[in-house]
């Protein structure tokens, strides 16, 4: 959530920045709401002051044994009048909050201006020296390679429908090995491993930015009411990423500055309805309703957040380097970033069957956007409260990493070479065979 004072003081400047994200801030409507809110706020405060003044006068007259009936009569209408004013004030504040919670983050000055992925900028590529792509090899897609190795979509479909998967044998072990390898690597990078809930209240999603904008993407498991004013929300959802629970750990907190940075990692299943993605990646593991992911989160001092963004990006890249998978780093343009992000890098891995790069991770600096929504603060050296900055990144999406391994490590006889760094998690096995 943005600082409301920015909207109040520099609405036109903010409008220009948000327009680069394709967001049209209705400044006139906001100003109308603000005018009415201020007017009602003043009337409410005046009414409260009058109530308090009359109460003092009545008390004084009674203490002197004097007649206070006229003042008592005057004061009798105040509670009802005050209640009506407070109800109207609450309505306008609720409408303002709806606007605030719907506004995306402002792009950082270093973010390129653009409308879609065509305007993203490639930063660098990395290719393992010892692995050469055989241009004459007929690379199969990951489904064709994976099904003889234990990738079973039909069994999953019988139980759950499309966009779920069932894995058996060595392939299931390889999937598990990936999560263990990633967690061990990130622990060595100074992250604290966490086990988090897979079900959260809607207030947690409001705090980290999934609600209200992405409600259709979430799997709701309990219905309730959504109230922007006091966060009295009782809906519950399956998590779409452990960013929600890791960042949410510091919600409604006041941290000491010496606690920063906080570096957290977790492996969780993630659940997404993929609303609006019909026709895209229906076949295979690229776009699933349920998938696993290892997430990295850093909660940091504002002055270090862009260094932390580089660190998280480097930590995610290291996974791909150790797995010896070709990838590239892409800086997203303003129109292609996520709702909460001020700056995002995507990691895209090479899929030879598609002859294309596919996203495998997003690493984002949300600055204080999430912290404002969830009231996560720290005391600086002067004892003044400031909002923390939050950085998150996938390191990595395990299903898509498995896709990349199936495509890049496939052999002509249908077998699969196990990346060397994973063999210790696979009882020393170096190859999977149909």
**H/E/C letters for each residue in the chain?**
CCCHHHHHHCHHHHHHHHHCCCCCCCHHHHHHHHHHHHHHHHHHHHHHHHHHHHHHHHHHHHHCCCCCHHHHHHHCCHHHHHHHHHHHHHHHHHHHHHHHHHCCCCCCCCCCCCCCHHHCEEEEEECCCCCCCCCCCCCCCHHHHHHHHCEEHHHHHHHHCCCCCEECHHHHHHHHHHHHHHHHHHHHCCCEEECCCCEEEHHHHHHHCCCCCCHHHCEEEECCCCCCCCCCCCCEEECCCCHHHHHHCCCCEEEEHHHCCEEEEEEEEEECCCCCCCCCCCCCCCCCCEEEEEEEEEEECHHHHHHHHHHHHHHHHHHHHHHCCCEEEEECCHHHCCCCCCEEEEEEEEECCCCEEEEEEEEEECCCHHHHHHCEEEECCCCCEEECEEEEEEEEEHHHHHHHHHHHCECCCCCEECCHHHHHHCCCCCEECC
| 272 is known to lie in a ligand binding site | yes
Asked if residue 394 belongs to a known ligand binding site, the reply is yes
Query: Would you say 135 is a known binding-site residue?
Result: no
Instruction: List, in order, residues 6 or more apart from 228 with CB less than 8 Å away.
Output: 94, 97, 98, 101, 206
Q: Please tell me whether 242 is known to bind a ligand.
A: yes
Other Cβ atoms closer than 10 A to 356: 9
Please tell me whether 273 is known to bind a ligand: yes
Q: Is 360 annotated as a binding residue?
A: yes
Is 295 annotated among the ligand-binding residues?
yes
The residues, any chain, with a CB within 8 Å of residue 134's CB and separated by 6 or more, are none
Is 95 annotated to bind a ligand? Reply is no
End-to-end CA distance of the chain: 51
Count of residues for the chain?
434
274 is in an annotated binding site: yes
359 is in an annotated binding site: yes
* Annotated binding residue 86: no
Taking the C-alpha atoms of residue 295 and residue 243, their distance in angstroms, rounded to an integer, is 7
Annotated binding site for L-serine: 241-243, 272, 295, 392, 394
Residues annotated within a binding site for ATP:
272-274, 359-362
The binding site consists of 241-243, 272-274, 295, 359-362, 392, 394
């Amino acid at each position: 959530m943005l600082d409301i004072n920015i909207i109040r003081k520099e609405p036109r400047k903010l409008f220009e920045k948000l327009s680069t994200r394709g967001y049209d801030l209705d400044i006139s409507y906001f100003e109308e709401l603000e005018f009415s809110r201020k007017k009602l706020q003043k009337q409410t405060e005046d009414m409260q002051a009058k109530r308090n003044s009359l109460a003092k006068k009545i008390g004084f007259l009674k203490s002197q044994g004097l007649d206070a009936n006229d003042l008592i009569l005057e004061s009798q209408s105040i509670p009802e009048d005050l209640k009506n004013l407070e109800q109207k004030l609450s309505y306008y504040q609720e409408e303002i909050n709806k606007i605030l919670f719907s506004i995306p983050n402002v792009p950082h000055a270093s973010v390129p201006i653009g409308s879609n992925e065509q305007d993203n900028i490639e930063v660098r590529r990395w290719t393992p020296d010892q692995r050469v792509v055989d241009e004459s090899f007929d690379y199969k897609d990951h489904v064709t390679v994976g099904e003889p190795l234990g990738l079973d979509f039909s069994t999953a479909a019988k139980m759950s429908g499309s966009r779920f998967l069932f894995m058996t044998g060595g392939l299931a072990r390889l999937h598990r090995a990936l999560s263990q390898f990633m967690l061990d690597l990130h622990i060595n990078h100074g992250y604290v491993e966490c086990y988090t809930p897979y079900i959260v209240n809607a207030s947690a999603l409001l705090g980290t930015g999934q609600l209200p904008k992405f409600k259709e993407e979430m799997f709701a498991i309990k219905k309730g009411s959504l109230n922007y004013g006091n966060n009295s929300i009782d809906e519950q959802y399956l998590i779409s990423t452990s960013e929600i629970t890791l960042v949410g750990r510091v919600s409604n907190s006041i941290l000491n500055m010496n606690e920063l940075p906080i570096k957290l990692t977790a492996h969780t299943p993630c659940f997404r309805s993929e609303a609006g993605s019909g026709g895209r990646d229906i076949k295979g593991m690229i776009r699933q309703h349920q998938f696993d992911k290892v997430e990295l989160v850093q909660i940091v001092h504002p002055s270090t957040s862009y260094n932390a963004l580089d660190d998280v990006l480097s930590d995610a890249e290291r996974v791909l380097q150790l797995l010896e998978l070709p990838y590239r780093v892409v800086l997203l343009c303003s129109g292609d970033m996520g709702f909460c992000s001020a700056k995002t890098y995507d990691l895209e891995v090479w899929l030879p069957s598609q002859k294309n790069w596919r996203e495998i991770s997003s690493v984002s600096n949300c600055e204080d956007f999430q912290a404002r929504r969830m009231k996560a603060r720290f005391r600086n050296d002067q004892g003044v409260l400031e909002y923390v900055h939050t950085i998150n990144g996938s390191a990595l999406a395990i299903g898509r990493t498995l896709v990349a391994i199936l495509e890049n490590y496939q052999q002509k006889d249908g077998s699969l070479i196990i990346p060397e760094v994973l063999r210790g998690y696979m009882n020393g096995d170096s190859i999977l065979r149909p």
